[in-house]
Amino acid sequence: MPGTEKGLGEAEIVELERKLGYSFKDKGLLKRALIHRSFAFEKETGENYEVLEFLGDAVIGLIVSEELINKYPDKSEGELSQIRAYLVSETVLSELARDIDLGKYLLLGRGERKTGGREKSSILCDVFESVFGAIYLDSNFETAKEVFKKNFLKRMWDILDRAVTYKDFKSFLQEVTQKEYKVIPDYILIKSEGPEHDKTFFVECRVKEIKTVGVGKSKKGAEQEAAKEMLKALGVIDDTADKR
């Protein structure tokens, strides 16, 4: 069985290389990229994936930054930073790891195996980064970038297209209404209540004939709430957005 305490066999290495679309010159780098610290502790060896993870984090960050600039040439530095932060997050990278069943090949200690370490998003994110750190060391940045683009870029864009969490609701709503209805939402301050130092604002959002209301302790906050309610009214998001 791949990823057991006995280590990885040649067949499993070849299988994972095929999924990655990259054949390692130094197979030891790939094996090291799959060693969790719990396994290293049990085997009394200091070799684990953490240094490769550190390197892979930088490699993936640079790849994603470059692709974002190409995809969104008109977005500001702040907007690009916000999107990049989401794309290199545990949420997204663990999904990319699951796409190739990366957890199957992990070398975990007994405790991590018993507690479902192969499916933990935090571990999957880390090992995905470590694998790209290993690819970089085994080749170069351009090769690592090509491997990512060929095997993971389209999936990453698909995740981004479905995401709400990286965006503020006003920006997301404007993207939706421009694309679907060819209009921009209107925001109207209905009223404010309370003393000057502790006001509550009520803002109405309008998209065509649809109206929603948001309440907040600032006008911007009320606009965000109104935009969120409009996204719900349009059927774009559901109540799970309240848990973001």
What is the rounded distance in angstroms from the CA atom of residue 83 to the CA atom of residue 179?
19
Identify the domain boundary among 162, 197, 227.
162
Element of type H or E holding 128: helix 121-138
122 and 101 co-located in one domain: yes
129 is annotated as an active-site residue? yes
34 and 91 co-located in one domain: yes
177 and 145 co-located in one domain: no
In this structure, is residue 225 part of a structural domain? yes
140 and 184 co-located in one domain: no
What is the rounded distance in angstroms from the CA atom of residue 5 to the CA atom of residue 42?
9
Identify the domain boundary among 114, 143, 162.
162
207 and 226 co-located in one domain: yes
Quick check: helix, strand or coil at residue 140? coil
In this structure, is residue 68 part of a structural domain? yes
Sequence-distant (≥ 6) Cβ neighbours of residue 160 within 8 angstroms? 83, 86, 87, 92, 166
Cβ distance 141 to 62 under 8 Å?
Answer: yes
CA angle at 57 for the pair 150 and 54, rounded to the nearest 5°: 135
Q: Which two tokens stand for residue 188?
A: 């109207």
Catalytic residue among 12, 95, 126, 129: 129
193 and 147 co-located in one domain: no
Element of type H or E holding 166: none
Q: What is the pLDDT of residue 18?
A: 96
46, 86, 133, 144 from 58: Cα distances, Å:
22, 15, 8, 12
48 and 157 co-located in one domain: yes
Q: Domain with 222 in it: what CATH number? A: 3.30.160.20
The total number of structural domains in the chain stands at: 2
- Going by C-alpha positions, the residue among 27, 14, 2 that lies closest to residue 135 is 27
In this structure, is residue 226 part of a structural domain? yes
Q: Which domain holds residue 158?
A: 10-162
119 and 224 co-located in one domain: no
Identify the domain boundary among 162, 188, 218.
162
194, 197, 240 from 175: Cα distances, Å:
34, 34, 20
Q: In a 10 Å sphere around its CB, with 0-12 CB exposed, 13-18 middle and 19+ buried, how is residue 117 labelled?
A: buried
Q: Domain with 17 in it: what CATH number? A: 1.10.1520.10
156 and 203 co-located in one domain: no
119 and 204 co-located in one domain: no
In this structure, is residue 4 part of a structural domain? no
Cβ distance 95 to 23 under 8 Å?
Answer: no
In this structure, is residue 97 part of a structural domain? yes
25 and 93 co-located in one domain: yes
Q: What is the pLDDT of residue 2?
A: 47
70 and 135 co-located in one domain: yes
- Could you list the pLDDT tens digit for every one of the 244 residues in the chain? 444 455 678 899 999 999 999 999 999 999 999 999 888 887 767 789 999 999 999 999 999 999 999 999 988 787 788 789 889 989 899 999 999 999 999 998 888 888 888 999 999 999 999 999 999 999 999 999 999 999 999 999 999 987 766 667 888 888 889 888 899 999 999 999 998 888 999 999 999 999 999 999 889 889 989 999 998 999 887 665 454 4
What is the rounded distance in angstroms from the CA atom of residue 118 to the CA atom of residue 168?
32
Q: What is the pLDDT of residue 104?
A: 93
In this structure, is residue 109 part of a structural domain? yes
Cβ distance 123 to 36 under 8 Å?
Answer: yes
Q: What is the pLDDT of residue 212?
A: 98
- Going by C-alpha positions, the residue among 83, 28, 34, 81 that lies closest to residue 56 is 34
Catalytic residue among 53, 57, 67, 126: 57
pTM above 0.85, yes or no: no
β-bridge partners, 214: 203
